[in-house]
Structure 1
């Protein structure tokens, strides 16, 4: 199953879960269930964004976009996380309103059943989406998987709150747990925002990733003199790597080209979506640029 089909699967599951939670939330009068319906609605919007962004970002580079369409995924991931923040704020607002104006919950066991069913469905789909996201290095699908997984936890939390309300009769537990869940999903959104937004500003790869790339290049150190001007950045699922490779002045172009091909191939084994650009410099250029000592 390709990325688009997996992303569409999350659209279908979220549509079903949204309708189920919304109907039961209205019937039971539980603000936690209604908050979950709102949360799931934003999950549905996020799934739609992920679905279209995956299709667009997979397009090949063209005349207008010579570096491809990868950043569409980062834009998508950023929008999705902002939607989670909106959901969190709205849930907190509704919960505070419920604390000020408490109401009884009708048919709590119906709400519990729906929350557990929705959690189970989204858990299965989130595992599939996460697996495909890791395969494709898709930040949009990874964001979508997080949406689904947070929905699992929040749904189970709401089920637990409804059960406690039923046992104890303390209706205030419903909005209090709703606020706790809202804070949780906003915290998860912040963590994801730190991953999806920096590539829009061409931030470099992580320290671990750069160290791994440099380690790969170092394997070929006996065949070149040094590297400098090493730079990296991410665009959607792709990593961009470029650096200057200093070779002996006596080395012919064909040999230098072969070394560059081997280095590029080695990097792409570890980073399947890497785009590598190597600028070759003869040793005499390095000596020319070194400061003169007297």
Structure 2
């Protein structure tokens, strides 16, 4: 097969820089998870005390949700730690996929939370009871909102800075939890006005909100497991490759997330009369541009094909082996 060959262009100082950046981003992620875990557990503890005193199932649902949100930090922290391990001959891409496994655990935790909160709310609808300490219940709802909103901002900010979609999604989850905490105020207000069913009704509404979060989280994890990426990233990679002098055409571009790092496999068409060294130099430049202009990209494999004006198919021997 007439071709310049499969050219994997290692880029020495960038590889080292990217590895250091990856370790630092994992360390920052671990710090965020530790701090947010502490904040949410304190928030949930304050709410739990008031749940025992008041008997509010709306507040119980919100408390359980906050506990679940805090617990999602545990599998994520494990995943960040495992993801820092170096690649091996068995795990040749490293351990970044541990974040996706953590995502599955998070989805299961959210599902269990929805089921428990819904069960308690239905029980209270069947057997309605007045709640006490209405003022404290309302205060607990405000505490839940403030705790979740602080955690949401912290997770989203750092998640975007280090390129962790899992951390950003967890931050958005916390923000949703904050608004469900405010819903507790409605239940407390209804009970104060002599409508005891307001509390379990709000509890059911919180359960529905949790189910929406569950749907979004499950969809996000499904996309990651299926190697889905934002099409805009593919457009960006193609645009970068077109700026490389000597690239006649851009072929296929494949991107995948491995943890919070992006990896690329691309094909470029170069002049068919180039020497091997010249084609290799173009592959090096293409990888160099991709790594520098796509901040979340950690590694790229660049494959060069000859651009032949005669239209010859230099991959003909492989055609019968390709899946169409």
* TM-score of the two chains, using structure 2 as the length reference: 0.82
Match among 50, 55, 61 for residue 35 of structure 1: 61
String of CA shifts for 1:34-53, please: whole Å, max 9, x gaps.
11121122112112122222
- Displacement after TM superposition at 1:32 (Å): 0.7
**Other-structure match for 2:213:** 188
Contact 2:149 2:178 in 1 (8 A): yes
String of CA shifts for 1:73-105, please: whole Å, max 9, x gaps.
122123212321221222122111111100110
* Runs ≥4 residues deviating over 6 A: none
Match among 268, 277, 301 for residue 277 of structure 1: 301
SS for the counterpart of 1:197 is helix
Contact 1:164 1:173 in 2 (8 A): yes
Match among 246, 249, 262 for residue 269 of structure 2: 246
1:215-230 superposed matches below 5 A: 215-220=239-244, 223-230=246-253
The alignment of Structure 1 onto Structure 2 pairs a total of residues equal to 288
Match among 214, 217, 222 for residue 238 of structure 2: 214
**Other-structure match for 1:71:** 97
Q: 1:164 to 1:183 in 2, by over 3 A?
A: same
Unaligned runs of 5+ in 1: none
Which of the pair has the greater relative contact order for Cα pairs under 8 Å at 6+ separation?
Answer: 2
- Displacement after TM superposition at 1:290 (Å): 8.0
Measure the CA separation in 1 of the matches of 2:293 and 2:219: 24
Contact 1:105 1:171 in 2 (8 A): yes
Measure the CA separation in 2 of the matches of 1:290 and 1:5: 49
String of CA shifts for 1:261-282, please: whole Å, max 9, x gaps.
2222322234323221111223
Measure the CA separation in 2 of the matches of 1:55 and 1:85: 25
Measure the CA separation in 1 of the matches of 2:286 and 2:311: 21
Q: Which moved more, 1:226-235 or 1:172-181?
A: 226-235
- Displacement after TM superposition at 1:152 (Å): 0.9
- What is the alpha-carbon root mean square deviation over aligned residues? 2.2
Q: 1:50 to 1:80 in 2, by over 3 A?
A: same
Unaligned runs of 5+ in 2: 1-26, 317-324
String of CA shifts for 1:17-70, please: whole Å, max 9, x gaps.
222122211110101111112112211211212222222223332344221211
Measure the CA separation in 1 of the matches of 2:311 and 2:117: 61
1:56 partnered with 2:82: yes
**Other-structure match for 1:87:** 113
Contact 2:110 2:210 in 1 (8 A): yes
1:164 partnered with 2:187: no
Contact 1:161 1:174 in 2 (8 A): yes
Measure the CA separation in 2 of the matches of 1:4 and 1:181: 29
